[in-house]
């Protein structure tokens, strides 16, 4: 389903989102009206959407945009996990705290490393410093992180 928003409203929403993906921001706004299982399902649907978009952008060679979508896929998945566990999940800090909690629970160091590499893809969106070989290394780690995170659901 597509929703059309007038340009003035779109600008207000973008400012309010503070640089975050608009869909994720809007989901946060309406989350209070959903019950917890619906919120988890919404975050999982957003995760799948971002992952599909990331793969498409990667195939097209748009590494900066693809990296940001991989980051979005990771954070949406962390939002689903945190929602199920009753953890805060509305900021970059909350996502880092969630990864640290999952690491302490599992002792899986690859969670911390994968999250750090996902953060680098996020940074690359703003600074566009990665070449293909480095990007692919980060992408592989993020895809592995996603599979590991799914097990916490």
Q: What is the pLDDT of residues 108-126, one digit of tens each?
A: 999 999 999 999 999 999 9
Q: What's residue 79's pLDDT?
A: 95
CA atoms within 13 A on the CB side of 56: 7
Q: What is the pLDDT of residues 34-70, one digit of tens each?
A: 898 999 999 999 999 999 999 999 999 999 999 999 9
List the chain domain ranges: 35-150
Hey, what long-range contacts does 93-96 have (CB within 8 A, 24 or more apart)? none
Domain 35-150 annotated CATH 1.20.120.330: yes
Max CA pair span of the chain? 48
CA atoms within 13 A on the CB side of 147: 6
């Amino acid at each position: 389903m597509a929703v059309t928003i007038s340009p003035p409203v779109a600008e207000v929403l973008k400012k309010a989102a503070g640089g975050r993906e608009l869909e994720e921001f809007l989901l946060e706004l309406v989350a209070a009206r959903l019950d917890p299982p619906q919120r988890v399902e919404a975050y999982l649907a957003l995760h799948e959407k971002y992952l599909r978009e990331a793969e498409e952008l990667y195939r097209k060679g748009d590494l900066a945009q693809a990296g940001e979508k991989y980051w979005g896929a990771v954070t949406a998945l962390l939002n689903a996990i945190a929602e199920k566990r009753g953890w805060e999940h509305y900021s970059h800090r909350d996502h880092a705290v969630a990864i640290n909690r999952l690491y302490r629970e599992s002792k899986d160091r690859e969670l911390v490393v994968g999250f750090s590499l996902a953060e680098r893809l996020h940074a690359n969106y703003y600074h566009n410093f990665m070449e293909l070989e480095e990007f692919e290394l980060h992408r592989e780690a993020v895809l592995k992180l996603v599979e590991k995170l799914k097990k916490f659901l």
